[in-house]
Structure 1
């Protein structure tokens, strides 16, 4: 199986009553122990974020507001995923290149990460990323 197939949409459970909706992310919803949360906002529509892969970190991306697209690449295969619902998260396992673009006005991208920040975990050059996959 291609590593790109491990990038999956995860349903975020929600509760609805007359007061509105509530989405809940608990430890049994995501396939890793969360160590860090951050979010992207006020990203211009012509800008992109990401442009890296992680050696150890796994991530879950959720569009809390608005929409954006995530391009994931395992070094051989690439796919584009639109995120536009706060009840759907994109699970990105270790070793997947990601770029986030096409941010709508007011978009907020929540990221839940399995590790604390360390620069050593990042692969920021796409050529280095591909070389890490092929051993060349």
Structure 2
């Protein structure tokens, strides 16, 4: 996979005078079935999250509230995304290093994943990630 496979997608948005509603259906709105959902919140100002990559996992990242930046790196190029709309999501494919920072106060980052948690799927250090990128090219 490459950075070009990662992209912002528009999610369904139903507007009503009582408030808006957005929903996500795995395999329909995103290119994978959802096996796990988790969210980050109460991230202190100036803190960073992420700092890892996945071998096989697909993810959809959404700023449910507030905003934050996502830096993606496929070992060849890097691209930054700002997430700040709950009706947009960032599709992140396997073999992409990700870092999250610049969390606004009260922000919530929700992530939908294609698989349950598996530590063996992680690249925890950038050098190991880059070595795998070089040997699989």
TM-score of the pair, normalised by structure 2 = 0.96
Find the aligned partners of 1:33 and 1:131 in 2 and give their Cα distance: 29
* Corresponding position of 1:86: 86
Find the aligned partners of 2:16 and 2:108 in 1 and give their Cα distance: 24
Find the aligned partners of 1:105 and 1:18 in 2 and give their Cα distance: 26
* Corresponding position of 2:54: 54
How far apart are residue 102 of structure 1 and its match? 0.3
Would you identify which runs of 4 or more consecutive aligned residues in structure 1 move more than 6 Å? none
- Structure 2 residue runs without a partner (length 5+): none
How far apart are residue 20 of structure 1 and its match? 1.1
Find the aligned partners of 1:70 and 1:58 in 2 and give their Cα distance: 15
* Corresponding position of 2:23: 24
Written as runs of structure 1 = structure 2, the 5 A alignment for 1:1-136 is 3-27=2-26, 28-135=28-135
Find the aligned partners of 2:17 and 2:53 in 1 and give their Cα distance: 42
How far apart are residue 109 of structure 1 and its match? 0.1
TM-score of the pair, normalised by structure 1 = 0.96
SS in 2 for 1:17: coil
Q: State the number of aligned residues.
A: 135
- Structure 1 residue runs without a partner (length 5+): none
SS in 2 for 1:135: helix
SS in 2 for 1:133: helix
SS in 2 for 1:69: strand
How far apart are residue 135 of structure 1 and its match? 1.1
SS in 2 for 1:103: coil
How far apart are residue 123 of structure 1 and its match? 0.3
